[in-house]
Structure 1
Amino acid sequence: MSKSSRNRNKRKGPAGTGSPAARGSSPASLSSFRAGRAVDSLAPAFVRWFDDGAPGAAATALDCLAAIESVMGRYMDRVAAADLTRLDPVILADALAADLAATAAVDDDDDRGEFVVAAVHGFVDFLAETDRWSGPAEQLADVVDLLSALLGETEDWKLVDVPVISDDDALKVFSGLPLIQRTTALLQWIGDAKPVTGTGALRTKDIEAAAACVGLKARGGPKQAGVPQAGNGGSEQPVPTVRSMYEVPLLAQVWEALARTELIEIGSTKAAPSPATAVFLAGGTADRLEELVFFVEEFLSASVLRYDPEQPWEVLVAATVASILLAAASEDPPRRDTVLDPRTGASPEERATVEALKAAAMSQLEALAGQGILAIDTHFRVPPALVRCIASTYEDATVLEDLGLLDIPDLDLDSEDA
């Protein structure tokens, strides 16, 4: 599939191998038989195309094919001499609706509908990318628009425009990020495997070596009074002692992103690299870029969106950082000297609150700048190649709603223009 389609089912899909959520309940009919024959003829090529070496990808491809066959059986019920390489969007919409309605009565999995639509979307991507689509280009565009709309991926509104950058140029930028270089060092240190605790964290005695991989100084051990928390590796401060990997924020965030992207597999006693790690480290241009982009997106989520929704201050800080990043990714980035300045006439209490918020947000923004994700000079700017990651992570209606940002039309952060 395309990156979004593959990852939607392979990494985020609800269905595991052989699970009921992956299968439909096609009607026992001649159309169902014809659909099975048609899908089966494309199955080997689809699995090869789908399988990028990630754990479980081939099995997920088979689950997708089961869902596709169910929908296509209903599609063939509705049109004579149907050709699955040139789908009609109106008939496809009707077939999808019928399939989901028929299975809803017998399947309590709320995620199955998204999985089925994503599987069909992947099938259409497969037809297009392997030159098997036989219909007009306009018809393909209509089908893609339909499926994207059903998945909530419509282009009706955007906060930022993602620039078009070649894979070669983008890969140079991503591979040169301090974040990627430090993550690479951590993966190389992990080697075949490293022991973990019952919570999936690195052992205390391994914290110092792991922290060094990501440019930090910290050692594991009993907490010492008055010792500062882990900071920049170049600091002249004494090496801090921490009781857990989670007290070293950058290391914890990188670790979480590695787990989310399935670059490492964390078991009950050890963490080991997955086959996808080889692609991350030295894959072909397109495949490696996909892994790097996916990792940066998950790192952005782990570093900014891991707030407690029951803590208003944490939500406010996360919302401030996300809104500044979105603005920094736009064609009109915000000025550093005007962002979050207290308004004229603000009370001392209000000024104190704004200054505290500014300090908390700047701490996170400067940390992201240290990883190469953000440039801070007179303005806040996101490098063009990384705009896609900002848009993918934060330009999401659910994320914006949770942060309380949907009611801010332009996310205008410059107080002098407010």
Structure 2
Amino acid sequence: MPRNEPTQVTDGWDGGRSPGRRKAVRYAVPVAVAGVAAATIGLVPAFAGSGSPDLPKISAQDLIAKVAKSDVQQLSGTVRVSTDLGLPSLPGAGGGASGFGGAQDGGKGGDGASAAPQNKLMELASGAHTLRVAADGPEKQRVSIVDKAAEYSLVHNGNEIWAYDSGSNTAVHSTAPDAGRPGKQHRAPKDLPEDLKNATPQDLAKQALKAAGDTTSVTVDGTAKVAGRDAYQLLIKPKQAASTVGSIRVAVDAANGVPLKFTLTPKSGGAAAIDVGYTNVDFAKPAASTFAFTPPKGAKVVDGDKARAKTPREHGKDLPSHKDVKDFKKDMGGLNVLGKGWTSIATIKGGGSGLPSGKDQGAGGDAGKFLDSIGEKVHGSFGSGRVFSTRLVNALITDHGTVYVGAVDKQALIDAANAAK
């Protein structure tokens, strides 16, 4: 059979399909890619394996539709995770038991903070990780983050949710929403971080495909072997010059349309900033025992339902109350999004005072000097401020305290500030 060749998606394509199909194919906005890059995970490169299998030719439009229609609900496998956003190494990220348990409370388990899913976010934001994943429909999922000296597992089985941190030997048990209500599916709690609920190439690929509009070039760029399976390679490139995203490559299973590997490379080049892929995958129904969990002997078990029922002030004095959040939004003038597509910029208006400068005296002086050393001072008709950069996401904080952030270059941030002054 002929080797698949690159196929260009034309702007505004709908292929004569129905509005429903166009919606399924195009998804929505690429700003989510910046969110994934800034807050979540990626995977180590070298998963494609050797060989480029000969597959029937397919257009980019049809391959995107294949991904959109894929309804695989049963699988198990191993995912390798690493992220290189150009950020400093984070304490506990990818490193031993302290990363999973000790960092929060000396490894004693405390009130269950070390096993709380929200506390895994920072660990997944940088470095390399290995995940074991399994799913059997909407009511059974399991994600385990495996480290050299510890393991963290999040298990959803019917009306039960377990989170277990082996580093502190602490488990948090919760009841799924709608438990006990006839005819209702048991959903995972809304407060579980998306990084743990959506830690697979499928979910990241769906976010990227939201960009399949007139600001994006989408082609089929050959084939690959991923986790032993034949796959097409979907290549996504922004057309907007100011974007810091160079390209996104998604390996799509040729048989069932499941994304097997997701790689985001910055325009600046170098290693992938986000690279997520299966090292092995099986689409058979996982054994029921995969989703069974019993706390190990001696484990501290925390009632997650009671913990969630407490107010933020009771459960964590450092967390803001609803009034604090409301007042903060009022003081900051609210969040706004400028532009569209890959060059969308989120803005938050400041309250009149920005970051301290190196000229500041007293206690703020040292902080100002430090910020001057890591942030580039910039000027424009808006005034002056500092740009803080990673390989993918940049942020401008003006001296008046207004923030501009996006997966765009420095000049795009300055232009946005100048236009908004």
**Do the two structures share a fold, i.e. TM-score over 0.5?**
no
For normalisation by structure 2, the TM-score amounts to 0.25
Tell me the TM-score normalized by structure 1: 0.25
Determine which structure has more spread, i.e. the larger CA radius of gyration. Answer: 1
Does 1 or 2 have the higher relative contact order (CA < 8 Å, sep 6+)? Answer: 2
